[in-house]
Structures are given as structure tokens and as C-alpha cells.
Homo-oligomer: A and B are copies of this chain.
Amino acid sequence: MHTFPEQAEAVIALAKFCSDKGWLPATSGNLSVKAQAEPLRVAITRSGADKQRLVPADILLIDEDMQVMGDTAYKPSAETSVHIELYRKFNCGSIVHVHTVFNNLMSELYASEGQIEISGHELLKALGHWDEHARIAIPIVPNHADLDELGRAVADAAQAEVPAVLVRAHGIYAWGDTPDAARRHLEAVEFLCEYLYRLRLIGGMSDVRK
């Protein structure tokens, strides 16, 4: 993916996958692919686009100050600040941000703990944890109205060993070295959010697994 058109196509393919799952309701969410590391350039969805019907013109090239490069009337998502902070911290290759019912539920139910602890589930492998006794914690941050503040909060909470952060009653940011890796991490956390919600519904995580 060395050219911007190729990177834009990668963003559109990610958005198509997430949109088909119903993870980008009401034009919400934003997705990006790193176009260049030094200086940082990012291919990212524009603000307000319906993610089911993206065309190349809906993908903007921005610099590390969130300035749009090239000739377009579109604006990048206000949440681009979160993407920039995560690229700076991890130098990852792609970031996805979606809203789902189950990640919203988990972010709300565990808001006071500030994280969701998970152990003993096979899909931890998809997040890079192969040790049988692995225990991970997915951070949850408040949904700051100030988006620069949100960007810093997500980046501060983000840990290299767990490629996802939940924002309370809002959604998830997940990332990876490639668009496929970002998507794999997202899929794994979404599965776990639904699983853990339904497990707690029938008897509580504390009873069954912790």
C-alpha cells in the first residue's frame, strides 16, 4: 500500500467490513491507515460520511496537525485527534473506531473499574496473548466532549500489549500494524464484549470465571 489511492482503498475495505456488521450506525465511527511515518501522514474517513457508501473522495490525507492535504471541501472527523495520538504513541499501521451495542454495554458496566479484565478465553490469542494463564485488561476512558482531551485520554490509557481502548457509552478504538491486524483485534474484542455481557447476564463473570 505505497500509494494514497491504495491506502484509501484499504480504508474503504475496512469500512465496508465494519458497516456490513452494523458497527458504524448513523454515519458514526472513523477509520484510518497510516500513509507515511516520517513526517506522519494518515488516510482517514471524512466527517459525516455514510460508511456503507464510501468513495475515494471520502478518504482524506492529513498531516500530524490534522490539516487536510490536497484539494477538497471535506473535513476530517473531529475524532481524528485520537488517531493522531495513537499513531504517535505506537507507530501502528491502521486504526478503527466503531460503535456497537455490546462494546457500549461493557464500557458502561465496567466504567467504575476503568477496565475489563479478561482471562481464560481462546480469543486472547487473536490479541497476541498465547500464554494459557494470560490475563489482560482493556482500558475504559470517559467520553470527553473535548476531542483533544479524548485523544490524550485514549493514548494515555492505551497499552502496547492490548491493542484496544473503550470509550464509555461511545465506542472502541482498536489498532494494529496493518489494516488486517486492526480488524482482527477489533473482531476479537467485539466477540469478547458480547460473550462477557451474555455470561454476566446469566450469572455473572465473578461467579463463573474470576
**Residues of A with Cβ closer than 8 Å to B?**
21-22, 25-28, 50, 99, 101, 104-105, 108-109, 120-123, 126, 131-132, 143, 145, 167, 169-171, 180, 184-185, 187-188, 190-191, 194-195, 197-203, 208-209
Contact = CB atoms under 8 A, between A and B. Distances in A.
B143 A25 contact: no
Given A25-B187, A99-B191, A184-B27, A202 B122 contact: no
Contacts of A27: 126, 184
B99 A203 contact: no
Contacts of A167: 122
Contacts of A143: 120, 122
Contact of A188 (B25, B123, B184, B203): B25
A131 to B, nearest CB: 8
Given A121-B169, A123-B99, A169-B121, A208 B108 contact: yes
B209 A170 contact: no
A170 B143 CA distance: 32
Nearest to A27: B184
Contacts of A122: 28, 99, 143, 167, 169-171
Given A105-B198, A105-B202, A28 B123 contact: yes
Contacts of A99: 122-123, 191
Given A169-B120, A200-B202, A194 B26 contact: no
A209 B108 contact: yes
A172 to B, nearest CB: 11
A124 B39 CA distance: 36
Given A25-B190, A50-B180, 13 more contacts: A21-B22, A25-B123, A25-B191, A26-B123, A26-B185, A27-B184, A28-B123, A99-B122, A99-B191, A109-B203, A109-B208, A197-B198, A200-B202
